[in-house]
Amino acid sequence: MSEPFFKTDCPSCGAPVHAHSATAVTLVCGFCHSLLVRQGAGIIDSGRDSALLEDFSPLQIGTAGTFANRPFAIIGRLQAKYDAGMWNEWYVQFEDGANGWLSESGDQYVFTLPAAEPLQEIPEFSSLVAGRSSLIYRNKRFWAADVRDIVLEQAAAQGELPFAVPPQMKNQVADWRCEQIFLTLDYASSPPEVFVGQGVKLADLQLGNTRSSEQVTDSAGRLKGTRQAESCPNCGSPVQWITGLTPSILCPSCGSNLDATEGKLELLEANNRREAQADAFTLKIGSEARINNRTYTLIGAVRKDELEPEDAFNLMFGQKPLGIVPVGRWTEYLLFEPQAGFMWLVESGDGEWSVSETLNVWPRLYGDLFQPQGLPKLYDYGGRVVFAAGAFYWHIRQGDVDFYSDYRHNSNGKLCAECNRHEAAWSQSTTIPYRTVRRWFGDTNDTPQYSADMRPDEPSRWLMLLLTTIFVVINLPAWISMFVTEEDISLAAFVSAMVLYFLVKRGNIFTESDDEE
């Protein structure tokens, strides 16, 4: 296992205590051997929800860069909080004195400026639904991508801002997208302010004076919530919990039988649940992967049930259909690297793997339909969170439901529209072989590996090419002989053709390799 990403301090001796998972309920101090029990901040409220990853940005006040050939510097920061997380709004100033905003939400960055033209028709905020509501601005149709009630707090503001932030202020915002163009309606004023911009990648902004990888890791890996050391009230020795639910805890030093209160039993249950979840994932939270010469840490994993599309749609809009039966299951893994940011790996129920990327430029959509032009539709389906472990850039809760629509993109990829009431997003996934995943995570064993619902890796295309060549060379004289002697070769030709088809198809001999480094 790799070096733990998350850390806290021991309340008994003050020594640093490390953790591989942000949702770990218990930690053991390596110096005084005290058992630390973590509570609060939604960490163990059910044992099935994720933790919230905070302060992972490489940006800071004083970071400078270039947008649209205009040099700028970040002079202020405002955090917008909503029910499942937060995002950063960085206030920037250009060399010519103009101002704008660089929005940072998870793995997405957007640069916006005050709109040059007003919006003719302002929609009512209460009527907006992500992925279903649309508007026309400058002859282009924009789709609602994010619809939020947010809270702005004075304590979460830094540097220079264009307005005074009260101790706490509630607001409503709606973000819209049309391909690469981004539009925001800020309902704090009447009529709402309009901002227009586009999605950007930090690598394209020529940034300087960003936070170092060590600074990002130190702040993002700091565990939230309260923690306390467990010790025996009779002798003061550190007490370790026994795995498994039990109404009592034994002190290993004096042998005292310590009663477990109701709250302690809940902690025991949550702790055991987290341990069982860790065993359910193919990839372990806290493990490291070497990808594109960067070292990523697996910080979160979420297991989802696949639902019928009608059931997911009804659940999203407050209805509770009876007899919902999952039709499948898949797992999503979130990887993090301080400078490169986030990366998603998806493991399907039948053992197929893919890399998924959230698109900052949406596909071109049909007129008034939320469907991409020129791409055949594959299927609709729903997803419901069974449990989540580790940390994500938003708080994932058991029972969260999303609606998905998949479209064929190329020979080994697809585009996916993911929607719920408050958010709509497009992602692109590319299939990769499991052997690539194993190699990323340092497993150099070439023996096919299995889990309960996995299939073996596909055979090497070069091996299949060799077998095909041998088959042709061995049978070529027989084929020539039958042709020359004018024998009935229909059966032999049919059998040979089927064997060749199987070898070529099985080995993907004439297709490009999808093995990514």
Statement: residue 63 has pLDDT above 70: yes
Backbone angles phi, psi at 491, to 5 degrees: -65, -45
The pLDDT assigned to 85 comes to 81
The pLDDT assigned to 52 comes to 60
The pLDDT assigned to 238 comes to 63
Interatomic CA distance for residues 70 and 67, integer angstroms: 5
Give pTM, 2 decimals: 0.75
- Is residue 43 domain-shared with residue 74, that is, in the same domain? no
- Distances 421 to 126, 312, 361, 399, 425 between C-alpha atoms, Å: 12, 12, 21, 14, 12
The pLDDT assigned to 514 comes to 42
- Is residue 272 domain-shared with residue 142, that is, in the same domain? no
- Distances 410 to 266, 380, 428, 495, 512 between C-alpha atoms, Å: 48, 18, 10, 32, 12
- Is residue 111 domain-shared with residue 143, that is, in the same domain? yes
The pLDDT assigned to 471 comes to 62
Q: Which of 99-108, 233-242, 435-444 has the lowest mean pLDDT?
A: 233-242
- Is residue 231 domain-shared with residue 321, that is, in the same domain? no
Q: What is the mean pLDDT of residues 388-403?
A: 88
The pLDDT assigned to 267 comes to 60
Q: What is the mean pLDDT of residues 362-374?
A: 89
- Is residue 149 domain-shared with residue 249, that is, in the same domain? no
Q: What is the mean pLDDT of residues 367-387?
A: 91
The pLDDT assigned to 444 comes to 61
pLDDT tens for residues 188-235? 998 999 999 999 999 999 999 999 988 888 877 665 544 445 566 666
Q: What is the mean pLDDT of residues 461-475?
A: 65
Boundary (domain end) residue, out of 264, 280, 296: 280
Interatomic CA distance for residues 253 and 242, integer angstroms: 14
Statement: residue 377 has pLDDT above 70: yes
Binned at pLDDT 50, 70 and 90, residue 395 comes out as confident
In-domain check, residue 308: yes
Tokens of 345: 């790996």
The pLDDT assigned to 494 comes to 62
Statement: residue 516 has pLDDT above 60: no
Boundary (domain end) residue, out of 175, 205, 235: 205
In-domain check, residue 368: yes
* More confident: 356 or 391: 356
* More confident: 191 or 449: 191
Boundary (domain end) residue, out of 405, 440, 475: 440
The pLDDT assigned to 39 comes to 55
Interatomic CA distance for residues 266 and 85, integer angstroms: 25
Binned at pLDDT 50, 70 and 90, residue 242 comes out as very low
- Domain hosting 12: range is 6-53+220-280
In-domain check, residue 516: no
In-domain check, residue 193: yes
pLDDT tens for residues 11-60? 666 677 767 655 565 566 666 656 566 554 433 344 566 666 667 889 99
- Is residue 317 domain-shared with residue 271, that is, in the same domain? no
- Is residue 378 domain-shared with residue 293, that is, in the same domain? yes
pLDDT tens for residues 293-350? 999 999 889 999 999 999 999 998 878 777 889 999 999 999 999 889 999 999 999 9
Q: Which of 368-372, 442-446, 485-489 has the lowest mean pLDDT?
A: 485-489
Residue 336's nearest CA partner among 291, 397, 282 is 291
Statement: residue 288 has pLDDT above 80: yes
* Total of domains in the chain: 4
